[in-house]
Structure 1
Amino acid sequence: MLMNAPATFIQSYIDDLNDALNQLKPGAALTRIQAAWLGACLTCILLMNSVCWAKFERASLGDCKVAALSWVFRKASIPWDWLLRVSVVLILKRYGITEGVLAFDESDRARSKSTKRIYKVYKQKHKGSGGYVNGQTIVLLLLVTSSITVPVGFFFYMPDPALKQWDKEDKRLKKSGIAKKDRPIKPERDSAYPTKTEIALGLLKEFKVAHSLIKIKGVLA
């Protein structure tokens, strides 16, 4: 299937998104190039069921080059946080949603065994094979309503490497019979690696600020 222009409903969505961005945060609207890029990416995701620059280039018959698509994603000053917030606002408004239940979930996504460049990637137990693989853990905040369930927030979780190394060494020393007073003291957690509970509380606070008119009947975790 070939793609040379954004789907009509996707273009309409981007127009609504820009209008809402201008209202909530003046100056945050996408530029013409950014809007065209987002329209092309969303249409390709729909057609290819994948997020892959190479597939996007093939779907556009070479009109959208891998290098250009990647550059905009990595370098353009796109207000990503505001895009998610405004997108959720548009969806809730479209479906007339005024209340619901917030639910937390997490998802481990296995990546390449050798990769170290992906954001917040770390060594995980691979449930399928019983071995280990590098992967990411995403903590999700979902709004569950009578008509739809929609993700309204997310954050990447990663164990504190220093704490993880300390725990491994502490278990080894303990097994060797070393007394607790002679073992290294547990280091303080680095704020760059919050716990899942801390992440959940942060996502709740962000939701309250962004969607204060939505009545929350309960929180599941």
Structure 2
Amino acid sequence: MLIRILPGATQFIDHLDQALRRAPQAQRLTIKQRYFLAFIISAMILTQKLCWATMERRSLGQYTSAALWWMFYRSEIVWHLLLRISVLVIIDRYGLSEGNLLIDDTGRSRCKRTKKIGKTHKIREKKTSGYVNGQELVFLVLQTPLVTIPIDFRFYMPDPKMTEWRKKRDLLKKQGVPSKDRPPKPKPNSEYPTKQLLALDMIQAFQRHFPDMNVTGILADALCGDAHFMDGASSILSGTQVVSQLRWNQTVIYKNKEVNLKTYFDSYLGPGVKKTLVIRGGKEQKVTVLSARLKVKAHGQKRFIIALKYEGEDDYRYLAATDVSWRHDDIARLHTLRWLIEVFFEDWKLHEGWCNRALQQGIEGSERGVILSVLCDHMLLLHPEQSARLEHKQPRAGSLRLPLAVWSRSSESMRCWISSGQLWSQKILRSSSRS
């Protein structure tokens, strides 16, 4: 399959260039830079890879891998502005004014020895419950009534000293050594921020760069269920509701007694109330709900705790919200939107290049590769056929390939992606051949 620059990619880069010229920094892209970005985005969509050798072969040598490498690393492209300006272009195009912020982390496995790829470390693999060498990213995604947009990301790297301390602590614990005789916990190192700090940094950047966007809620998983993140995120956006998840053994205080969440909801409240919850896209889902306003010991203040169990599940999941004035139905309905970031991860890993084959060296190469991959997603959001679908409340096409198995992020949330096949939309092929 030969690589040809897609008309949509050229139009998208032209929109970015015009927006950059109007930005306060008054940056611009040269003709060569615009051509390079349009070609790379087209190649990543067509080949689903970010690989210079593949692009050279598929272009029949018209673009050499050395030239592409030089433009990627040496050309003075304003990489730090591209993603932000691209988001602004989408917001202006669809007239978006409100939404929710979704936060989650994801990993990409690499080979065992990666001396030249930035910020690789041992990460947990969910499929096997084991550990592999790879990279971890924390993503910030904006969910709106019309479309879901990836906004920002950060690479995560654990503190080596903290990792070594945990290993020693766990070993001494097994040996029965009391805590007073174990090595003290090392002080936090600002060069290795935690995932919670990375998430707060992205929220602060969002508030700074998109001050006119009205954020209804911030949704995160159990990783961000500590008081520092929940209170910090809420204060950054002036008291916005923050919904996270707590573990079953989290200690709460009820009538001056300390009990864990599972014990409290099982012993004090009895069986839950069965309801039909209307979730994204108008779909109805049967759930069992219990709720209470309780003081969480580790947080030092009261939270709105909701025990939620979907039909077919055996165990409750426990949600915590900062604003206790909300109704529990509204909090539960808001939390269902958090899964949209998982939909984005699935599509991003399969179809947008960086996760399939991206071996760029250094943290700089990894960050630029992810930026290009996310720009592919943004370009597809601005495609004329995509825009028509969104404006008419139809399921959106998640790639330029003809969907064979549709999983739609509908007008409220989801997006289409293909599970297999290499068929192309005839309309896109005709417009590409005319270019």
3-state DSSP of counterpart to 1:45: helix
Closer, same or farther: CA 121–202 of 1 in aligned 2, 3 Å: same
1:53 aligns with 2:84: no
Could you tell me how far 1:187 is from its partner in structure 2?
1.1
Q: What are the residue-to-residue correspondences of 1:3-42 with 2, within 5 Å?
A: 3-4=3-4, 6-42=5-41
1:44 is matched with 43
1:183 aligns with 2:185: no
Q: Which moved more, 1:202-211 or 1:25-34?
A: 25-34
Q: Distance in 2 between matches of 1:129 and 1:101?
A: 32
Q: Distance in 1 between matches of 2:202 and 2:38?
A: 28
> TM-score w.r.t. structure 2 length?
0.48
Deviations 1:34-57 (A, max 9, x none): 211111101101211222212211
Q: What are the residue-to-residue correspondences of 1:95-114 with 2, within 5 Å?
A: 95-114=94-113
Could you tell me how far 1:10 is from its partner in structure 2?
1.3
Deviations 1:142-197 (A, max 9, x none): 11111111101111112111100111112223333444333322111211211111
Q: Distance in 2 between matches of 1:25 and 1:76?
A: 22
Could you tell me how far 1:137 is from its partner in structure 2?
1.3
Q: Distance in 2 between matches of 1:113 and 1:129?
A: 16
> TM-score w.r.t. structure 1 length?
0.92
1:160 aligns with 2:137: no
3-state DSSP of counterpart to 2:212: coil
Q: Which moved more, 1:35-44 or 1:17-26?
A: 17-26
Q: Distance in 2 between matches of 1:24 and 1:39?
A: 21
Q: Distance in 1 between matches of 2:216 and 2:126?
A: 34
Deviations 1:60-112 (A, max 9, x none): 11111112212221222222121000000001111221111111121111111
Q: Which moved more, 1:67-76 or 1:89-98?
A: 67-76
- AA of the residue aligned to 1:39: A
1:215 aligns with 2:206: no
Q: Distance in 2 between matches of 1:43 and 1:175?
A: 54
Q: Which moved more, 1:140-149 or 1:16-25?
A: 16-25
Kindly tell me the number of residue pairs found equivalent between the two proteins: 220
8 A contact 2:123–2:136 mirrored in 1: no
2:291 is matched with none
Structure whose CA Rg is larger? 2
- AA of the residue aligned to 2:34: A
Q: Distance in 1 between matches of 2:197 and 2:167?
A: 23
Closer, same or farther: CA 120–105 of 1 in aligned 2, 3 Å: same
2:2 is matched with 2
Closer, same or farther: CA 113–128 of 1 in aligned 2, 3 Å: farther
1:132 is matched with 131
Q: Distance in 2 between matches of 1:126 and 1:214?
A: 35
Q: What are the residue-to-residue correspondences of 1:49-128 with 2, within 5 Å?
A: 49-128=48-127
Could you tell me how far 1:130 is from its partner in structure 2?
4.0
Percent sequence identity over aligned pairs: 41
3-state DSSP of counterpart to 2:180: helix
Q: Distance in 2 between matches of 1:200 and 1:81?
A: 18
Q: Distance in 2 between matches of 1:127 and 1:45?
A: 27
Could you tell me how far 1:32 is from its partner in structure 2?
2.0
> What RMSD, in angstroms, separates the aligned Cα atoms of the two structures?
1.7
